[in-house]
Structure 1
Amino acid sequence: SADVVTCAVGPTVLKFIAPVLVAGLRARVASARPLQVMACENAIGATDQLREHVESLAGDEWPDLSSRAVFANTAVDRIVPGQPEGAGIDVTVEPFFEWAIEQGPFDGDLPSIPGAHFVDDLGPFIERKLFTVNTGHAATAYHGALAGFEKIADALSDPDIEQKVGSAISETSAVLEQKHGFAAEDLSEYRRTIIERFKNPALPDTVTRVGRQPLRKLSRHERFIGPAAEAAEHGLGVAGLLAAVDAALAFEDPADEQAVELRAKLTSLSADAFTAEVTGLDPSHPLYVPVRDVVARHTA
């Protein structure tokens, strides 16, 4: 009977929610207000993915059921650190949150959700979060691990690490300002807020947890290479982002499959082969040689 459904789950779980939604749409009176569905997940286009699962399951019924629901993508930002074993549903989160929702699908009939804001285009907000929060968090983890820190908050107590993280996300802000027209002063305040969030001692996040899966985080459209590539294309600075890549290449965690694979690739591949395979950069790209030179410091 609800009019709004929000799903706070990982992308791999979306397909398991789809049968519940299909059953709900079948039971919903056709004349009722369309169900407003939003997937509160970091994955870009997560609600679109959920809609595709629902449409596939509905099959021939979809033309009829589609009028009973509205699907809107969202961009959600809230740090949820690793939880203590046995904590159950008592989940620790930070007090800060931001929730942007695309307003187009609602055709003016916006749901009432305190704290959410509706935007015409989610793209800039998704990239602002990815290139600031995700880039900054990972940069803190890798610089922190290299310096021997265990916790993210403790790593940022080191002025040198804070400066290095600040340098990386200042470079991503330059990309966001040029690409999306964000105001420089707004981005500066956003960066300050992000750093303060990471410093929160009540969030027991570790550099190991945040730094896991380094190969994915070094890939072409992820938090380091993605913004650095755009910066290089426009002649903007990339020294801070390259320093984060350098630290990521030194990351070690025997319990993380990708960290182990990273070490193996650095041992078995040439700097050129590693750069092409892991970062996806083409040799003709202006970022390729600077990244290759960083990689060369870590290859056998």
Structure 2
Amino acid sequence: MTVKLSLASLSDAAATAAVPAYDPKSLTAGILHFGVGNFHRAHQAIYLDDLFNTGKAHDWAIVGAGVMPSDGAMRDKLKAQDFLTTVVEQDNNRTAARVTAPMIDIIAPGDVATVIETLADPKIRIVSMTITEGGYFIDASGRFSPAHPAIAEDGRNPQNPKTVFGLILAGLKERKARGIAPFTIMSCDNIPGNGEVTENAVIGLAKLSDPDFARWIHENVAFPSSMVDRITPATGSREIDILKNDFGIDDNWPVFCEEFKQWVMEDKFPAGRPRLEEVGVQFVPDVAPYELMKLRILNGGHAAIAYPAALLDIHFVHEAMEHKLIRGFLEKLEKDEIIPVIPPVPNTNLIDYYKLIERRFSNPKIGDTIPRLAQDGSNRQPKFILPSTADRLAKGQDIIGLSLVSALWCRYFAGTSDSGKEIVFNDASADRLNAAALKAKDNPDAFLALGDIFGDVAKSELFRTRFAHSLKTLWEQGTAKTLELYLGGKLVK
């Protein structure tokens, strides 16, 4: 028998899944979260669910907020099951399901008035977000871009905001007018210095319409940095069917993820916070070393294997790790070029951390896909790959493997795999990347001319030479042979 997920059916779901030890109806909101996607529900919401299960912090439940029109479909699906989510954790030797209930509502996208009123509620003490790397309006150098059309529009019309940061500003302004202390603003996205990046976006937008208010924010609002980590694939019919068949639970939008999770955070919460350290969150004085390690080794590793796998028509991440050339490419790249330019991390051996990442990538139960890793490269390459390239160039070190990563990305955006199969792009800049990649077949500098992506790295003669040679080899000899040459130390000009 299949149980349709809802509050009324929790006791039935308990036959095959863990269910909340608390009464979801007893929760009150303390957090408003923008971007209620799979990662949020497998990460921040899980930590809160763990804490609520101890009988504590029931005044820290989540109210979600949709911004994009597509958020409406998720809201409808989750509302139909009382905002419950089934999270299926999959390790190599273990699979377990749990029903989570820390989210008590989602505000529909476009309902600006309700978002602002909720932000002004004194019970809301934290505003968090997972809006992807591309949602922060930053350029290749990591600086906030006030000229972005969406930001410029919110700057002209702060009373009718469309962006997350415009909504946050409107909520802060309303709290200030009512004499209510500001909430803490917490990014949960994979961006170096995400606290500072978020502060720059909020204050940068405020300066466009009210410089005095921008100064008030700088003096009164906290923006803690954090490092978040859990591999969480997209949900499709495969995941929905597995949950029904293996656990007998009918969930409109379940989340599948690995068993591993990590959250490292600055303890800067003047408005208060739940005691998440009781359920495994690490509060540290400086998040930067952990963050850099994770962004370069894990996220950089994902970016490195995505494009050779796509060019070889590989669909699943674990299948890419089973391919000896791709696995070897990742290991050599990490050990020879990425890890050596990562500063020390407290109580952490970087090679051991890489071995953990390698094991996680190889997990066949996750069902993580190469198309997910390959998406949004125009935002991910400048954050996960090119900083390592820049660091090595600054030290006078070679970048054979990192240049190959950039060349593989360029070759991918030519639009067909090595077998001639058409590649479906998922990137806001897909059209211009495709055009540049096609030109780069004959003129490699055409791709490196994307200044908002490559920045100063493209000015390096060594990088341009290595990139051009790798790209030429990919076109003439194919992906597999190029990887073989790299592993044999022969991909040099």
Same fold (TM over 0.5): yes
Q: Would you say the 8 A contact 2:444–2:467 is kept in 1?
A: no
Code of the aligned partner of 1:153: H
Q: 2:431 aligned with 1:266, yes or no?
A: no
8 Å CA contact 2:203–2:218 kept in 1: the answer is no
Report the aligned-residue RMSD. 3.7
- Which AA in structure 1 matches 2:352? E
Question: Is 1:15 the equivalent of 2:165?
Answer: yes
Structure-2 residue corresponding to 1:99: 263
2:340 is matched with: 174
Q: Which runs of 5+ in 1 are unaligned?
A: none
Which structure 2 residue ranges, 5 or more long, are not aligned?
1-121, 137-162, 241-250, 416-422, 477-493
Q: CA deviation at 1:172?
A: 1.0
Q: Retained in 2: the 8 A contact 1:283–1:289?
A: no
Answer with 1 or 2: which has the greater Rg: 2
Q: Is the CA contact (8 Å cut-off) linking 2:234 and 2:372 kept in structure 1?
A: yes
Structure 1 contact 6–38 (Cα < 8 Å) conserved: yes
Change (3 A) 1:26 1:71: farther
Task: Compute the displacement of 1:230 (Å).
Answer: 1.4
Shift of residue 191, structure 1, vs aligned partner: 0.7
CA contact (8 A) 1:22 1:54 kept: no
Give the Å deviation of 1:46: 4.8
Name the TM-score, length of structure 2 as normaliser: 0.50
Larger mean CA deviation between 284-293 and 12-21 belongs to: 12-21
How far apart are 1:23 and its partner, in Å?
A: 4.4
User: Within 5 Å, which residues of 2 pair with 1:24-63?
Assistant: 35-43=183-191, 44=194, 45-49=196-200, 51-52=202-203
1:275 equivalent among 448, 464, 484: 448
Which whole-Å CA distance do the structure 1 matches of 2:253 and 2:200 have between them? 26
* Deviations, residues 189-242 of structure 1 (Å, cap 9, x unaligned): 111111222222232222122112344444xx4322220231233244533323
Question: What per-residue deviation string (whole Å, max 9, x for no partner) do you get for residues 245-281 of structure 1?
Answer: 3332322323445455434223335223332436333
Q: Say how many residue pairs are matched.
A: 290
In structure 2, relative to structure 1, the CA distance for the partners of 1:299 and 1:160 (3 Å cut) is: closer
Deviation string 1:51-96 (CA, Å, 9 cap, x unpaired) is 5389679986788888875332222222221122686553333322
Aligned residue identity for 1:7: S
CA 121–154 in structure 1, closer or farther in 2 if over 3 Å, else same: same
Distance 1:246 1:191 in 2: 23
What are the residue-to-residue correspondences of 1:169-208 with 2, within 5 Å? 169-170=334-335, 171-176=337-342, 180-182=343-345, 186-208=349-371
Alignment correspondent of 1:248: 409
Alignment match of 1:118 (pick from 277, 283, 287): 283
State the Cα deviation string for residues 173-195 of structure 1 (Å, max 9, x = none). Answer: 1110xxx2348971111111112
Q: Using the alignment, how far apart are the partners of 1:143 and 1:294 within structure 2?
A: 12
Alpha-carbon spacing, 1:111–1:254, altered in 2? closer, same or farther (3 Å): closer
Letter in 2 for 1:293: H
Overall identity of the aligned pairs, in %: 22
Give the TM-score, by structure 1 length. Answer: 0.77
Change (3 A) 1:240 1:23: same
Matched-pair contact (CA < 8 Å) for 2:265–2:282: yes
Does the residue aligned with 1:156 lie in a helix, a strand or coil? helix
Q: CA deviation at 1:166?
A: 1.6
SS of alignment partner, residue 383 of structure 2: coil
4+ residue runs over 6 A deviation: 56-68
Cα offset, 1:165, TM superposition: 1.1
1:7 counterpart SS class: strand
